[in-house]
Structure 1
Amino acid sequence: MWFKNIKAFQLTQPLSLDDDDLERMLNEHAFRPCGSQDMATMGFASPFSQAGKSGTMFHCVQQRYWITLKKQEKILPAAVVNAELEEMVAKIEMETGAAVGKKAKTDLKQEIQTRLLPQAFTKNSYTHGFISLPDNLVVVDASSDGKAEAFLAMVRKAIGSLPVVPFTRHSLQSELTHWVTDATPDNIDLLEEAELKSADDTGSVIRCKNQPLDSDEISLHLSAGKLVQKVAFEYAESLSAIMCEDGAVKRIKFTDRIKQETEDVPKDQVEARLDAEFALMSAEITTLLNFLRDTLKLNDNDL
């Protein structure tokens, strides 16, 4: 269990979770498969369910609560619906000699979707996240705001309250630009990838890869007023990632040094391995986020 993208949120007040109550509340909003006329359903599942294992509705290690949201969607290709619609419209127009109006076409399309929906294939997707009580953090493995907000909304619905704000409430362009132009914080090493954007109305964007960030080319862009939107970095020889100006951390890759720490757990012991990976991964993620919170001065006084 290794998160690849992070959307992080800070709890605005301490949160208390009782294990028995949490299990009951998540079960009340447990995942159920799509019915014959459902386009999509969403609910909580065991964090181990994706590996084919059953278990409790959450998994906890050192007060870090791992919660999994499962979504099932019906796949009904528009091309299939439109092809049937064209056939029905052609048949009606041939039989009546009159054109089928816009409203009638909409009704026919709805009729086709209703008829085909029970036969549609389904697609399952999972969103993993964890609540770290000691750190007042909620961390979601998501690359988009929409996916993260859906996770937060469901958790909030289940437990009644989840008072959070985004990890950062202002753009980090200035801070990331300072990393490139002046000095990086301790334990941060910049890699050869970044995205720069003009601060003026032109909004021009420069993306570079395999390019030393202290090169003359990059310096010229920065001197011309461009600001760093994204930058690749390595943290404390434990992981590499892309730091974004909105506070998101993307394309996380844990180093071999970190992953090797779980190699002594046999692969056939799935639950034990997932437990070990989550314990290690969540500890590294919270360490990174606490470091960024302190370094970028995103402390509780700014909430």
Structure 2
Amino acid sequence: MWFKNLKAYQLTQPLSLDDDDLSRMLMDNAFRPCGKQDTATMGFASPFAQAGKEGVMFHKVQERYWITLKKQEKILPSSVVNAELADKVAHIEAETGSPVGKKQQQDLKQEIIFQLLPQAFVRNTFTHGFISIPEKMVVIDASADGKAEAWLACVRKAIGSLPVVPLARHSLQSELTHWLTDGAPDGIELLEEAELKSTDDLESVIRCKNQPLDSEEITMHLDNGKLVQKVGFAWQEVLTATISEDGSFKRVKFTDRLKEETEDVPKDQVEARLDAEFALMSAELCQFLDFMRTTLKLNDD
């Protein structure tokens, strides 16, 4: 249980969760598989599903609530639908001697989808997130806004309220640019990866990898007015990641030194191992995000 991407939010009001009520509310919105004609379904699942433990709708460690959203989608490739449609259109035109109009083709396409949906393969995806009551934070393992917003919307619907705002409510271009021009904050080590963007109408973008960020080439781009959109960094000896100007973090990798702290839990004890990993990871992420909140002055927004 190690998050790979972070979408972080701040609670704007105190939140109190009762374990029994939360379990009941999540169960009322539990995942159900797709029916014959469903294209997708979404609902809450056990965070320990991979350990074979169903029915546990959340996991709590020191007032940090781990909640998992499961989505199931029918996989119906457009190439399959279009091939079936082409065959039907060709057959009708051969029988009638008249072309099939767009409206009729759309109706035929819907009929084909209706017929094929019960036979379609399904794909299951999971979105993990946790609510930290002490730190007044919500952290979601998602690289895209849509997945994070779906998690927030489903939790909000289930528990009635989840008053949050993004951790960063303004672009961090200026702050991240200062990391390159004036030096990174204490505790942050810049890695050799960044994305710079011009502020003119052309919006030209420079992406660099394995490139020292204090090189003349990068300095020239900064002197010409480009601002930092993304930059890779290491935080203390805990993790590496890239931070984007919208305050999201991607390609999060926790250090071996940190992961070794759970090595004493046998790998065959999956539930115990997940518990230990979540406890360690969530605590470190809360410290990291609080550091970022303070360093980037996000409390001032």
> Do the structures match in fold with TM over 0.5?
yes
What does 1:61-76 correspond to in 2, within 5 Å? 61-76=61-76
CA distance in 1, matches of 2:201, 2:102: 42
CA distance in 1, matches of 2:86, 2:206: 46
Once the two structures are superposed, residues 170-192 of structure 1 have per-residue CA deviations (whole angstroms, 9 ceiling, x without a partner) of 00011111111102111111111
Secondary structure, aligned partner of 2:134: coil
Partner of 2:126: 126
CA distance in 1, matches of 2:231, 2:194: 4
CA distance in 2, matches of 1:35, 1:50: 23
CA distance in 1, matches of 2:5, 2:89: 46
- Provide the TM-score with structure 1 as the length reference: 0.98
Partner of 1:91: 91
What does 1:1-303 correspond to in 2, within 5 Å? 1-299=1-299, 302=301
Residues paired across the two proteins, number? 301
Letter in 1 for 2:137: L
Give the gaps of 5 or more residues in structure 1: none
| Farther off after superposition, 120-129 or 200-209 | 200-209
Cα distance, 1:56 vs. partner? 1.1
CA contact (8 A) 1:66 1:129 kept: yes
Cα distance, 1:215 vs. partner? 0.8
Secondary structure, aligned partner of 1:128: strand
Letter in 2 for 1:191: L
CA distance in 1, matches of 2:31, 2:227: 44
Letter in 2 for 1:67: I
Letter in 2 for 1:220: M
Cα distance, 1:90 vs. partner? 1.2
Secondary structure, aligned partner of 2:192: strand
CA distance in 2, matches of 1:235, 1:23: 35
Letter in 2 for 1:90: A
Cα distance, 1:87 vs. partner? 1.1
Cα distance, 1:55 vs. partner? 4.3
Cα distance, 1:53 vs. partner? 2.8
RMSD: 0.9
Secondary structure, aligned partner of 2:82: helix
CA distance in 1, matches of 2:67, 2:190: 32
CA distance in 2, matches of 1:51, 1:190: 37
Secondary structure, aligned partner of 1:10: strand
Once the two structures are superposed, residues 2-30 of structure 1 have per-residue CA deviations (whole angstroms, 9 ceiling, x without a partner) of 00000011111111000000000000000
Secondary structure, aligned partner of 1:69: strand
Secondary structure, aligned partner of 1:73: strand
Letter in 1 for 2:178: H
Secondary structure, aligned partner of 2:237: coil
Once the two structures are superposed, residues 184-232 of structure 1 have per-residue CA deviations (whole angstroms, 9 ceiling, x without a partner) of 1111111111111111211011111111111111111111111111111
Once the two structures are superposed, residues 65-123 of structure 1 have per-residue CA deviations (whole angstroms, 9 ceiling, x without a partner) of 00000000001111111111111111111111211111111111111110111000000
| Farther off after superposition, 9-18 or 53-62 | 53-62
Secondary structure, aligned partner of 2:298: coil
CA distance in 2, matches of 1:196, 1:90: 52
- Provide the TM-score with structure 2 as the length reference: 0.98
CA distance in 1, matches of 2:129, 2:190: 27
CA distance in 2, matches of 1:253, 1:287: 16
CA distance in 1, matches of 2:108, 2:207: 47
What is the percent sequence identity of the aligned residues? 74
